[in-house]
A and B are shown apart, each in its own frame.
Chain A
């Protein structure tokens, strides 16, 4: 960013630097150079001083040299012609008797980013690779990578690559690791550095000499190596065993990742490694550095996906400290919810209860939602707490509790009666739109069990004109119609008002259309409306999907110890697909229109309605399957879901696909027969994996579709629906 008077500053600095009096006084001269660097750091453009700085590089003072080199590296690309002047000095320094000066000059020369640099640096680099001093060799090795990055499209120099591979045997550990890094950069297009058996074993034997940074990096490189035999595998694992308990978290975690990767065929070894690393992982969760704590927690969460019980006894370690930043508290709460069992449930709930009154509303809401999650298993205790929280009469708490109630009723129908009683007795209503929507949904869906429902609803209808959020208005319309269906006598009078208002005066098109839709529906008669509007009041089969099951370790091992777990969904696209299922609002939407055809005449392939229709007997299916031609065959690109059969069935049922039969367990080839109906057509399909005859079915699921009568559009829709449902279960398990 340009500062005011920057030109003045540069002019003044130049005057000072070219002043012979200043040049004579070493200390003053150095002070001015320091000043230049200071301005550079602040973002001031001091590139105009390049000439003067080049002069200053000819000095014996190493500190001054370093400062000038820093300057030159920054501006060399802007002033390539002037930078060439500096190269002579640098090349002279590369032959200096002092290895530190040699290394320094070589490193900085390689950092110049300008075209045509290669011809000047190639010779010093090659000389540097054979230097006596390890310091210079380190620099030269990375110099090779820098040289390559200057001209990324040129052919790879075979002699340098060979020399680097040879230097893997260098006595200096940093040179060894730098060689790996440089080869990785240079051979990026060819898949990086090759780790064969001699190299892998050499690296493993050198592990003890490396410092912790190099250790964790070498461990990452070793992920590429596949041992030939089990004996070799166990030799490697026992060599690395000590590193699992390294006091450096990054080494311990990198070792664990390698263990999980190498022992992917030996689940007991994996489990044992996880058990042994649980102590260092827990220690990072309590580390003094908050950032490390956060990273530790994220990885604990990942481990818990397949070993939920591993940290069960340590649940107290995940209690929040009051001074911890909220990003840590959120993670800890998520972990606590997963760790709840019969023994600790009351203690955990008591702890979560104390977070509900936190100063930060977000934290309080997250704590309430966490209690709601636990309530799916331990509903009684949690409902007591949630009801007690309503007594606090705090807006944000009330709103969060009502939202939690809504989710709870949806997932756990047995708690409906208790929730309805509490909601009926609750005097104050939420003020924010999320909370209002939740309350209205509860009123509409379970109006028959809440005695005061019509009166509460009337209050909202009276306030409709001042309501700002269109989502609340839509929810109000839906709730009013639903309530009319279950309690017509009390609601009939008030139903007309919101419909009239929304049709006549509302400016938001969505709301108006929704109102019109209900109006026309009601014109068709009450029974017709009931058929369309009411749907299932809860969906326990959803909890089959959302309820955590133990996943195989291989699901997450590939992202373990990367940025993935920290970023959540940003870096790993797999999780995106699942998040949609957790949104209560989409649920309400789907449930609202269960059987209505969503497709318009010219819709895209995603929007297709499937229906179950009358069940098909096995014989009919078989006969039709044999009679019909395969119309469509597609490789889905992911393996079959390893979920329990009933999960798969429930998931398919959700999207109205009926499962007829499938191969039990892990039998190969694995097959499943499914069928569904779309607009006047019957679709039969076979899912296949691991069949020798079918091409491409080794790794991925292949779907073959038959249909009667033929409707290509429906097939495309069916396949996309099938994909969308199988993908999330696959990634969840």
Chain B
């Protein structure tokens, strides 16, 4: 049972506050909370605070009983997701602008501290306030901004802001449905280039703007195999270790044809989650060939050669490489291969950061960093530790999972736009030196 729910800005201002049961001493508790928010669970005077951080905001619930933490955390996540659905995007500004709407949502979702419903299908009957969009949807955005910021030559590209508008908005009413295949990749590569650990967490997420939607059929790769025991065919089969589905998904055609049948409700929902461990079907997207040497008395030479093993047509975006440097590094000079790359030394984090906005598949980039470290000893070289990378790979899934088709049932009236998007994010990509 939840006693209070509040949404705090990153600075600790309370944007939304709902007291479900009469509780006194709120402000005292609130101030304590602001101080200690770094820890997930806080207890104060018999009130337990649980928070979730989403979109730069703190979503906090307090309770006097001892409930399931999973329920509370998932509820707060769901609240954040619903807020995002209704307000378009998640930020301090959008929450401030739509606070009446959020109160209305909360009022319907929670009564006397008990969760009533979080389904958009039910909520949409009760929610009357119209969202104030912080970025009005404009047709001008359509042409120049591509998917996830990519500039692509294709004529039909979903505008990047299209999916971040309020679902109930009456403006720019377009019958659209987005199906995203999102994978998170976490990889550890050993010092000799050996793949130590590879782990892919993927999900198929639907964002639906259709006011009413009958059944939709999503066809996945026919050769998709699930589990370790199944034999691989001749072709490069797509394999996942295990998968789980949203409870509304009908799976009667999944075993034979790999078709998911679902009636999406408005807003965002995850229809399928899957994971793959240890065996990547393709090479890891990046290989690093580092060399670290002591140059002069007080200088370390770090030479990095980075190869992108993606197919030549695809590109990695926003690649950033973090290399730990010895403590006490004062300055750095670098030689980079192209002007759009940047590199800087961050003495606070004892690291140097090399950023590459675009990295085409098959390419190889190298960089030379000369780091000045006063009082350098041979032991300092050992501090040049594991390199970590972050990037995103648009139009790319590491498991090879594809959506063959997306069919709305024939009864659907009116024109509807269907978009399929793929993206792989690096959850954690570490290369040991």
A100-B126, A289-B73, A359-B351 known; A245+B379 contact, CB < 8 A: no
A249 contacts B74, C-beta separation under 8 Å: yes
Q: Which of A77, A138, A249 contacts B70 (CB 8 A)?
A: A249
B111 contacts A139, C-beta separation under 8 Å: yes
Question: B14: CB under 8 A from chain A?
Answer: yes
B144 to chain A, nearest CB (A): 30
Cα(A350)–Cα(B192), bound, Å: 13
Enumerate chain A residues within 8 angstroms of B242, measured Cβ to Cβ.
279
A113 contacts B70, C-beta separation under 8 Å: no
Enumerate chain A residues within 8 angstroms of B1, measured Cβ to Cβ.
181
A646 to chain B, nearest CB (A): 37
Question: Which B residues, 68 to 118, have Cβ-Cβ distances below 8 Å to chain A?
Answer: 68-71, 73-77, 99-100, 103-104, 107, 111-112, 114-118
Question: B15: CB under 8 A from chain A?
Answer: yes
Q: Which of B54, B99, B118, B383 contacts A213 (CB 8 A)?
A: B118
Question: A286: CB under 8 A from chain B?
Answer: yes
A354 contacts B432, C-beta separation under 8 Å: yes
Chain-A contact segment, one of B166-174, B332-340, B363-371, B385-393: B385-393
Enumerate chain B residues within 8 angstroms of A357, measured Cβ to Cβ.
324, 382-383, 385
B334 to chain A, nearest CB (A): 21
Cα(A688)–Cα(B107), bound, Å: 57
A317-B277, A392-B379 known; A63+B68 contact, CB < 8 A: no
Contact digits for B372-408, partner A, Cβ 8 Å, 1 yes 0 no: 0000010100110110101000000000000000000
Cα(A177)–Cα(B349), bound, Å: 51
A292 contacts B73, C-beta separation under 8 Å: yes
B427 contacts A321, C-beta separation under 8 Å: yes
A289 contacts B14, C-beta separation under 8 Å: no
A174-B117, A295-B70, A563-B66 known; A41+B197 contact, CB < 8 A: no
B379 contacts A37, C-beta separation under 8 Å: no
Cα(A537)–Cα(B156), bound, Å: 75
Question: B41: CB under 8 A from chain A?
Answer: yes
Q: Which of A1, A67, A248, A294 contacts B40 (CB 8 A)?
A: A294
A316 contacts B278, C-beta separation under 8 Å: yes
Cα(A23)–Cα(B100), bound, Å: 20
A322 contacts B70, C-beta separation under 8 Å: no
Enumerate chain B residues within 8 angstroms of A730, measured Cβ to Cβ.
none
A253 contacts B70, C-beta separation under 8 Å: yes
Enumerate chain B residues within 8 angstroms of A289, measured Cβ to Cβ.
52, 54, 73, 77
Question: B152: CB under 8 A from chain A?
Answer: no
Question: A280: CB under 8 A from chain B?
Answer: yes
B114 contacts A181, C-beta separation under 8 Å: yes
Q: Which residue of chain B is the closest to A70 with respect to CB atoms? A: B103
A245 contacts B53, C-beta separation under 8 Å: no
Chain-B contact segment, one of A439-447, A499-507, A565-573, A615-623: A565-573
Cα(A327)–Cα(B432), bound, Å: 23
Enumerate chain A residues within 8 angstroms of B71, measured Cβ to Cβ.
213, 216-217, 250, 254
Cα(A43)–Cα(B13), bound, Å: 10
A291 contacts B107, C-beta separation under 8 Å: no
Chain-B contact segment, one of A141-149, A525-533, A701-709: A141-149
Enumerate chain A residues within 8 angstroms of B116, measured Cβ to Cβ.
138, 174, 178
Cα(A77)–Cα(B24), bound, Å: 12
Question: A34: CB under 8 A from chain B?
Answer: yes
Give the most central of A177, A283, A565: most B CB within 10 Å: A283
Enumerate chain B residues within 8 angstroms of A249, measured Cβ to Cβ.
70, 74
Q: Which of B54, B115, B247 contacts A247 (CB 8 A)?
A: B247
Question: Which B residues, 260 to 277, have Cβ-Cβ distances below 8 Å to chain A?
Answer: 270, 273, 275, 277
Q: Which residue of chain A is the closest to B188 with respect to CB atoms? A: A319
Q: Which of B14, B27, B74, B430 contacts A250 (CB 8 A)?
A: B74
A41-B15, A292-B77 known; A247+B40 contact, CB < 8 A: no
Q: Which of A1, A245, A322 contacts B244 (CB 8 A)?
A: A245
Question: B201: CB under 8 A from chain A?
Answer: yes
Q: Which of B68, B100, B430 contacts A37 (CB 8 A)?
A: B100
A250-B68, A563-B67 known; A63+B77 contact, CB < 8 A: no
Question: B423: CB under 8 A from chain A?
Answer: no
Cα(A245)–Cα(B14), bound, Å: 37
Cα(A288)–Cα(B103), bound, Å: 26
Question: Which A residues, 211 to 259, have Cβ-Cβ distances below 8 Å to chain B?
Answer: 211-214, 216-217, 220, 245-250, 253-254
B70 contacts A321, C-beta separation under 8 Å: no
B244 contacts A247, C-beta separation under 8 Å: yes
Cα(A292)–Cα(B67), bound, Å: 15
Contact digits for A305-328, partner B, Cβ 8 Å, 1 yes 0 no: 000000000101101111110010
Q: Which of A107, A294, A571 contacts B111 (CB 8 A)?
A: A107
A250 contacts B70, C-beta separation under 8 Å: yes
Question: A391: CB under 8 A from chain B?
Answer: yes
Question: B416: CB under 8 A from chain A?
Answer: no
Question: A561: CB under 8 A from chain B?
Answer: yes
Question: B342: CB under 8 A from chain A?
Answer: no
Enumerate chain A residues within 8 angstroms of B322, measured Cβ to Cβ.
322
Q: Which residue of chain A is the closest to B51 with respect to CB atoms? A: A291
B428 to chain A, nearest CB (A): 3
B275 contacts A286, C-beta separation under 8 Å: yes
B127 to chain A, nearest CB (A): 9
A563 contacts B41, C-beta separation under 8 Å: yes
B68 contacts A213, C-beta separation under 8 Å: no
Contact digits for A383-415, partner B, Cβ 8 Å, 1 yes 0 no: 000001001111000000000000000000000
Question: A678: CB under 8 A from chain B?
Answer: no
Enumerate chain A residues within 8 angstroms of B70, measured Cβ to Cβ.
216, 249-250, 253-254, 284, 292, 295, 561
A70 contacts B107, C-beta separation under 8 Å: yes
Question: A696: CB under 8 A from chain B?
Answer: no
A567 contacts B41, C-beta separation under 8 Å: yes
Contact digits for A366-379, partner B, Cβ 8 Å, 1 yes 0 no: 00000000000000
Question: A562: CB under 8 A from chain B?
Answer: yes
Question: A45: CB under 8 A from chain B?
Answer: no
A63 contacts B40, C-beta separation under 8 Å: no
Question: A656: CB under 8 A from chain B?
Answer: no
Question: B196: CB under 8 A from chain A?
Answer: yes
Q: Which of A37, A291, A321, A564 contacts B53 (CB 8 A)?
A: A291
A28 to chain B, nearest CB (A): 15
A359 contacts B350, C-beta separation under 8 Å: yes
Question: B16: CB under 8 A from chain A?
Answer: yes
Q: Which of B14, B69, B114 contacts A295 (CB 8 A)?
A: B69
B11 to chain A, nearest CB (A): 13
Cα(A392)–Cα(B103), bound, Å: 55
Give the most central of B1, B68, B103: most A CB within 10 Å: B68
Cα(A320)–Cα(B428), bound, Å: 8
Question: Which A residues, 147 to 191, have Cβ-Cβ distances below 8 Å to chain B?
Answer: 149, 174, 177-178, 181
Cα(A63)–Cα(B168), bound, Å: 15
Enumerate chain A residues within 8 angstroms of B178, measured Cβ to Cβ.
none
B74 contacts A571, C-beta separation under 8 Å: no
Cα(A94)–Cα(B135), bound, Å: 39
Enumerate chain B residues within 8 angstroms of A245, measured Cβ to Cβ.
244
Enumerate chain B residues within 8 angstroms of A716, measured Cβ to Cβ.
none
Cα(A23)–Cα(B104), bound, Å: 23
A319-B197, A327-B39, A564-B66 known; A213+B75 contact, CB < 8 A: yes
B186 contacts A354, C-beta separation under 8 Å: no
A-B contact pairs, 17 of them (CB 8 A): A42-B14, A66-B104, A66-B128, A100-B126, A174-B117, A181-B114, A211-B118, A213-B118, A216-B68, A247-B245, A288-B201, A291-B51, A295-B70, A298-B69, A322-B430, A392-B383, A570-B43
* Contacts from A to B (Cβ < 8 Å): 1, 34, 37-38, 41-43, 62-63, 66-67, 70, 74, 77, 100, 107, 113, 138-139, 142, 145-146, 149, 174, 177-178, 181, 211-214, 216-217, 220, 245-250, 253-254, 279-280, 283-284, 286-292, 294-295, 298, 314, 316-317, 319-324, 327, 347, 350-351, 354, 357, 359, 388, 391-394, 561-567, 570-571
Given contact pairs A247-B246, A247-B273, A391-B382, a sample of 12 additional A-B residue pairs in the complex whose CB atoms are under 8 Å apart: A43-B14, A177-B114, A211-B119, A217-B114, A288-B184, A291-B52, A291-B76, A292-B77, A316-B197, A316-B278, A354-B385, A394-B383
